[in-house]
Amino acid sequence: MILEALCLSEEDPAVRRLAGAFGGGPATVRERLVGEPARRSRRLRFASGGEIIVHDAAVVAVLLHLAPTPGAPRGLDLSDWIDGADNDATLDDLKKALEAPRHFAGMGTPYFTLDGGYARADFKDRRGWNDAGNLLGITVTVEQPGLACGPDDDDCPACADLLVRTSGSGGGVDVDATADALTAALTAGLLTEDAHWVKLADLRPLHASGLMERVECQLTCTACRRIICFTLFRDSSATFGYHVLNDAMRRPLEAIPPVEQWGEEARIAQEDDAMRYVDHEPGAWFLVEKQGGLFLDARYSYNTMLDDSALIRLDETELKSYRARGRDAISALAKRLADNAPYKEESPFHQRDLFRGPGGKQYREAVTAAIVNHTWLAQQRRTT
């Protein structure tokens, strides 16, 4: 019954039958515009614990709330909807009952591939699926979890209302008000900023300079994990969209011009104190500079599946070698660092790794900002 309703309008008989199975008319209906260009989201919540989400007049998700919610004091009985499963089902129980392949979208989002849709299983704290009693609900969607934002995140309390629209009849983004709302959310810790893109604080000055055709910042919601892409264009209207990581990282980004070409005095002075890109070897290392000191950000591997990087400040011996041999000296140092497993305490580079110290997060952000125009991903964005 649920799969038959997907992609259909509310007036379709299959959707009406589903609504009838949920108890008839919805207890509440909530509508909102999501993003710009806008998509209309309509949520029909039923007192039984069922929910239907409609995007632009087509059903995109059906939720089975098993645990009590403010609008559904009892919740649904899963056995009425999935043969062989009940509200105490574990992930293995669901796999057996659905007879469908099990997958994970990220570490804590198990889902099943069905004939005509996907079923996401929601457990307490995004874990505990091996123990009975932790299943909170099932969400059946048109799009594959992990490759599209969850329709139930349309009303995320942390980020759903950050887009401010203009009051005119034509609609669109109120750029200043939206930027201010995003800044407040970022300051409050509701969002995090991706340093690989334009900083939110730099978005409007860069756009006003006219040096870039499109200027975009990306911010991740700490609650729903959607990525907000706020984009200003030289010759067209601003856009504001919610994306998953796979889509966000593939969006195009021009090289960011030097701050001296677009920043005010205070911003230029701030950049003078920041790290600056010097050189790099693709896939191996970056060399950055700050106030005369040189820092090497070199990659290393834990195993065949995981890798990371370490940041060290070049000592006097390493500086002399660099002055004498140039890039060859840096490549040799980077190889020595990687071969000595800096993640181990006995490594001579373990204590030198600035990413491991109390200011590790700030160092990572500073290096990321310095190399933003020179990463492999940045090059790929400029070719798409």
Which tokens is 60 given? Answer: 């995109």
Terminal CA-CA length for the chain: 42
Residues with Cβ within 8 Å of residue 372, at least 6 apart in sequence: 195, 196, 197, 256, 378
Residue 360 has pLDDT above 60, yes or no: yes
Q: Which two tokens stand for residue 201?
A: 């604080």
Average pLDDT, the chain: 92
Q: What are 106-153's pLDDT values in tens digits? A: 878 999 999 999 999 999 988 889 999 999 999 999 999 999 999 999
Q: Are 234 and 213 in contact (CB under 8 A)?
A: yes
Q: To the nearest whole percent, how much of the chain has pLDDT over 70?
A: 97
Measured between alpha carbons, how far is 229 from 381 in angstroms, rounded to an integer?
Answer: 14
Does residue 201 register a pLDDT over 90? yes
Per residue in 11-52, pLDDT tens?
Answer: 999 999 999 999 989 999 999 999 999 999 999 999 999 999
* Count of Cβ atoms closer than 10 Å to residue 324 Cβ: 9
Q: What is the pLDDT of residue 374?
A: 82
* Structure confidence at residue 128 (pLDDT): 87
Residue 177 CB partners (closer than 8 Å, separation 6+) = 164
pLDDT at 383 over 60: no
In this structure, the number of other CB atoms found within 10 A of the CB of residue 337 comes to 23
Mean pLDDT, rounded, for 90-119: 93
Which pLDDT band, with edges at 50, 70 and 90, does 169 fall under?
low
Q: For residue 243, what pLDDT band results from cuts at 50, 70 and 90?
A: very high
Q: Percent of the chain at pLDDT above 90?
A: 78
Mean pLDDT, to the nearest integer, of 177-193?
Answer: 97
The DSSP-derived string for 3-29 is HHHTT--TTSHHHHHHHHHTTSS-SEE
Whether the predicted pLDDT of 376 surpasses 70? no
Range name among 76-80, 195-199, 307-311 with the lowest pLDDT average: 195-199
Q: What is the pTM of this model?
A: 0.81
CA 23 to chain centre: 36
Confidence class of residue 255 from pLDDT cuts 50, 70 and 90? Answer: confident
Residue pLDDT, tens place only, 303-316: 766 789 999 999 99
Residue 304: predicted pLDDT: 66
